[in-house]
Amino acid sequence: MIMRAVAVLLMGLMVLYKAAQLPPPRDAVLPAETVTTCTRIRLRDGRYLAYRERGVARERSNYKVIVVHGFGSSKEMSFQAPQEQIEKLGIYFLQFDRAGYGDSDPNLKRSTKSEAYDIEELADQLKLGPKFYVIGVSMGSYPAWSCLKHIPHRLKGMALVVPVINYSWKSLPENLTRLDYRRKLIQWTLWLANYAPELLYWWVTREWLPSTTFLEKNPTFFNDRDVDVLKKTPGFPMLTKDKLRRRQVFDTLLNDFMVSFGNWEFDPLDLSNPFPRNESFVHIWQGYEDKVVPFRLQRYVAGKLPWIRYHEIPDGGHLIVHYKGVCEAILWALLNREHLLDKPATAMAVH
């Protein structure tokens, strides 16, 4: 029973983190002037990293924003902002396939640090300048946290959208994590990943396990607004049984999961303010009804790091990045920050 529960959990987590990076709905159309390319750069270690550019042209942009996708996603993830806002602020978006995803080569030595340095090297090869903005969504938050640790001098600001919580962070209080079922299930999955990966691979590709279609609508993972989002979007082709049977896909997902929830070389709650003169801000956006990341833990993280501005959506689940107006609000807070200087760095509700 435990083995089946763990296997179902892993599939559920795949759906959850993929859901946070849903592709645009089928009827979504990018603005006519949107720059769209899909090319690759070669990193110093020989790996290739694929990327996609959106928004205004890089040369005439005022803000350069790197969007980091999460678990099971790619550079095609949806981060929809109004064209009027993109043009008014002059925003250039850079989205890329993290190691092993999409058209990027795997990194057998993936770590929190390597994720940050991939972002830095991508920015340098595309000549984004000395500083840029980073938005990390769901499990794309651990590369973003790593940027705060390893390359803070390259950041102009950062937004963490429903960032995952790693239960191995030593500074998390036991009274908030001890009874959290997510902690125990993640620990079981990590144990299997470390000591029985072949068994885990065999288990998650069995025909009798629940389909991702079933899990997508499971109220255990999604609130009502999330379910409404899922009704209007395509499914999750990367997480089908056929795709999971491809060993490179399975290995990439498992490797990413293990780094995200494994032992980091730093604790984010020990980080000092990278912007002591308030020249830039770091933001966390969280849904109060998020069933993947507990809001109480997110509030605790933000409370321990008072230089982070915390925004909480009262009826928001884990898919808030797809709610109408949320991407727009994230960009205004991150890029047009002068109007926020007089607001406290505590919870801010968005309706």
Which pLDDT belongs to residue 11? 53
- Interval 25-65: pLDDT, tens: 444 444 444 555 569 999 999 999 999 999 999 999 999 99
Strand 91-96 relative to strand 63-68, pairing: parallel
Instruction: Kindly report the CATH number assigned to the domain that includes residue 279.
Output: 3.40.50.1820
Distance CA 101, CA 78 (A): 16
Q: Indicate the pTM of the whole model.
A: 0.86
Mean pLDDT throughout 184-195? 90
Residues with Cβ within 8 Å of 341's Cβ and at least 6 positions away in sequence, in order, are: 278
Mean pLDDT throughout 104-117? 96
Q: Which domain holds residue 256?
A: 1-351
Q: Place 339 in a pLDDT band, splitting at 50, 70 and 90.
A: very low
- If one counts the domains in the chain, the total is 1
Phi then psi for 245, rounded to 5 degrees? Answer: -70, -20
Mean pLDDT throughout 69-83? 89
- Interval 253-303: pLDDT, tens: 999 999 999 999 999 999 999 888 877 889 999 999 999 999 999 999 999
Half-sphere exposure of 215 (CA within 13 A, CB side): 21
Tell me which residue of 224, 225, 234 sits closest to 22, measured CA to CA: 234
- Give 200-204's long-range contacts (Cβ < 8 A, gap of 24+): 200/6, 200/7, 200/10, 200/254, 201/247, 201/250, 203/3, 203/4, 203/6, 203/7, 204/7, 204/10, 204/11, 204/244, 204/250
